Structure 1
Amino acid sequence: MVCLVLVAVLLLLAVVALGVGSAGYSLQQIIQALFYDERGPVRVVVYNLRLPRLIMAVEVGACLAVAGALLQAVMRNPLADPGIIGVSAGAATAATTILLLFPTLVSSVPLFAFGGAALACVLIYLLAWRDGIDTVRIILSGVAINTVLGAYNSFLQLLNSDNLSSVLSFMNGSLSGRSWDHVYIITVYAFIGLVLGVCCIKNANILQLGDEMAQSLGVNVTFVRIFLSAVAAFLAAATVAEAGMIGFVGLVVPHIARMMVGSDYKALLPVSMLLGAVILLAADTLGRTLIPGMEIPVGIVMAVTGGPFFLYMLRKKGKVSGS
């Protein structure tokens, strides 16, 4: 039932996203442009500009939400998120390096972004390893990696201050100017990553039982953690490469999904996937329509709305625990 409601909300938001903007269109005009009129001006705006952006928002939101949910299972910590533990920073560092130092390789940004995310994961696990992997050490190592890579990115931008237009858009997280070519690329990555994420449902549920219980069930906890982290890194890298740095989706969405359906990943992961798509599409639509004549990048909208909401959830949880 929750999934059906989210699908209905997503379809409604899709109609709104296609219709609103500098030029507003009715539902009839949208249907006419998508299915009948192949050359009119409405077709150009709706089909060539707004529809690719809509699909990008849906897929990026779903990927980030699933990545966050998987990392929270790996860490057994609700604060785990691709942006917080350094996975997104690894992808962003690789992509920024290519954009600023090797612009001729811009078509290979997704590949390098995944390599950066994977390398960040490896470093995090190496730093956290001490007679086994402790989830607290993983998070602390991730925060340290995130800080170091953030300093490197700032230094790189300082050295290339005359060529930051593309990088600033990337660091703020934006879906502006996305075309069907971007949609084709992110669809391939999203399909692979989300299918792998669904295959991780059983192991994610087992990790929630604790290491000792999981080992008693015959599960190789270290291998499962590494595999789930690799899937999350793949999803995060794909979104970073195509949409830039967008925070708080992987952090907040799984929390809301748990409030809706509980902690069983059989329900949590599909709901997170749909809810992530809904929230990011709503944020992107809000960002491009809130101020007439000006577009706010979706990464900024998510930071402004997601941060306070997460603080509210923390305070609410603290009050419940205290009572």
Structure 2
Amino acid sequence: MTGTAKTRNAWRMTVVLVFLGAALAALVLSMAFGSADITIAKIWHTLWSPTLRDTQDMVIWNIRFPRNIVAALVGANLAVAGAILQAVMKNPLADPQIVGVSSGAGLAGVIILILFPSWEYLVPMVAFVGALAAALMVYALAWRNGIRPTRIILAGVAVAAFLGSGISALLVFYGDRVQGALLWMVGGLSARSWPQVYVLAPYTVIGLILAFLGSRRLTILSLGDETAKGLGLPVEQTRFMMTAVAAFLAASAVSVAGLIGFVGLVIPHIARMIIGTEYRFLLPGSAFLGAAVLVVSDTLGRVLFSPVEVPVGIIMAFFGAPFFLWLLRRDA
């Protein structure tokens, strides 16, 4: 490895560590804000020695801390899923929501929540099947002698609209059962606590490990199909495997937090502008930055209009949509 390459990798590792520090700081600092402000000293004491002696201890340990963990896991999952899809589909504007993956998971989840509420424990796996089916549908529709970025976006918008109409139809026909599904569709973390942490954490660990194991393949794939084939990479097999990993991560996030958009678009793009397309650094960087951004966004949703809580999906759309338009104008 040349000196220049070592310097570049050292810079990338430094950025990843900065993103990790930002995520940890967001986890701790956001617990200080809410309907009742809590000192940082009290937060540290409760986290290191959770004796739950008073109301503030209960608020920190049973409400704010687990909710922040869920936000961090959801942000990491969506950001890494977006980074993978952007590599697989050769489109920097791809993300789980825009290309229909989140809509596939959402339709599958709504079917369970509305039609089979007693089977709610199946939502993560059913959502994964729906997300993978949507991703494969987009890929099939966009394929014609290769993949082009414009076709991916158009196919993704069409598939997302089609699946979204299915969700709307269910909400219309089963209006007496839609309250929980409506809140889930907006994308929010209200009332998320330790049970959701226990549900989401195994999916996050497995999904992120699989993503990092495939990081070298993604880096080679980003060089172009012909170059990747010349280096011996099975291109289509890699696309299918990594699409499945992205669908797994996105579906697990959607099953717990609902349809939160723009995380998978904005976060990987920002990380790529700083780190580059070396995926062994880009994937962890995206995961840590996604965790930090979603924790901060959820905190803003809790405190900006207190006592009214704004779902984090709305906060992300408010900031993410202008960024998406900027990307479109820049790449036009």
Q: In which range does the TM-score fall when normalised by the shorter chain?
A: over 0.9
CA 1:213–1:241: 2 relative to 1, 3 Å: same
The one-letter amino acid paired with 2:191 is G
SS in 2 for 1:37: coil
Does structure 2 retain, via aligned residues, the 8 Å contact 1:74–1:228?
A: yes
- Matched residues in 2 for 1:7 and 1:131: separation? 41
**Kindly tell me: are residues 239 and 13 of structure 1, through their superposed partners in 2, closer, same or farther at Cα, counting changes over 3 Å?**
same
For 1:165 and 1:260, locate their aligned partners in 2 and report how far apart those are by CA, in whole Å: 41
Aligned partner of 1:175 in structure 2 is 189
- Cα distance change of structure 1 residues 305 and 138 upon mapping to structure 2, 3 Å threshold: closer
Q: Alpha carbons of 1:54 and 1:80: their partners in 2 closer, same or farther (altered >3 Å)?
A: same
Partner Cα separation in structure 2 for residue 194 and residue 36 of structure 1:
29
Aligned position for 2:316? 302
CA deviations on 1:149-180 (whole Å, 9 max, x unpaired) are 01111111111222221011101111111121
Which residue number in structure 2 is paired with residue 101 of structure 1? 115
Q: Cα distance, 1:309 vs. partner? A: 2.3
Give the alignment of 1:130-141 within 5 angstroms.
Answer: 130=144, 136-141=150-155
Q: Measure how far apart 1:308 and its partner are.
A: 1.1
Q: Look up the match of 2:240.
A: 226
Cα separation, partners in 2 of 1:146 and 1:36, compared to 1, 3 Å:
closer
Cα distance, 1:251 vs structure 2: 0.4
Aligned pair count reads: 318
Matched residues in 1 for 2:211 and 2:30: separation?
Answer: 28
Instruction: Give the CA deviation at 1:10.
Output: 2.1
> What is the match of residue 279 of structure 2?
265
**3-state SS in 2 of match to 1:68:** helix
Which residue, 280, 283, 290 being the options, matches 1:276? Answer: 290
Measured in 2, the distance between the counterparts of 1:112 and 1:12 equals 34
Counterpart among 13, 36, 61 of residue 23 in structure 1: 36
Q: TM-score with structure 2 length normalisation?
A: 0.91
Structure 1 CA distance, aligned partners of 2:295 and 2:258? Answer: 15
1:203 and 2:217 matched: yes
Note the C-alpha offset of 1:137. 4.1
Amino acid at match of 2:313: G
Q: Is the 8 A contact 1:68 1:81 kept in 2?
A: yes
Aligned position for 1:238: 252
CA distance in 2, matches of 1:57, 1:251: 17
Shift of 1:133: 5.6
Inter-CA distance 153–162: structure 2 relative to 1 (3 Å threshold): same
In the other structure, the counterpart of 2:101 is: 87
Task: Report percent identity of matched pairs.
Answer: 49
Q: Could you tell me which residue of structure 1 aligns to residue 19 of structure 2?
A: 6
Q: How much has 1:58 moved relative to structure 2?
A: 0.7
Match of 1:190 in 2: 204
1:310 Cα shift? 2.5
TM superposition score normalised by structure 1 = 0.93
Tell me: CA distance 1:151–1:182, structure 2 relative to 1, closer, same or farther (3 Å): same
Name stretches of at least 5 consecutive residues in structure 1 with no aligned partner.
Answer: none
Supply the distance in 1 between the matched residues of 2:147 and 2:82 (Cα, whole angstroms): 19
Correspondences of 1:100-139 after superposition (within 5 Å): 100-130=114-144, 136-139=150-153
Moved more, 111-120 or 289-298: 111-120
In the TM superposition, what is the alpha-carbon distance from 1:33 to its structure 2 partner? 2.5
Measured at CA, do residues 36 and 214 of structure 1 come closer, stay the same or move farther in structure 2, by a change above 3 Å? Answer: closer
* Structure 2: tracts of 5 or more residues without a match: 1-13
Are the equivalent residues in 1 in contact too, given 2:22–2:289 (CA < 8 A)? Answer: no
Match of 1:252 among 257, 266, 270: 266
1:262-320: per-residue Cα shift (whole Å, max 9, x none)? Answer: 222122112111111111111000000111211000001000111112323444x35xx
- RMSD over aligned CA atoms reads 1.7
Q: Give the match's secondary structure for 1:238.
A: helix
1:155 partnered with 2:169: yes
Check conservation: 1:75, 1:139, Cα contact below 8 A: no
Distance 2:50 2:144 in 1: 63
CA distance in 1, matches of 2:323, 2:158: 25
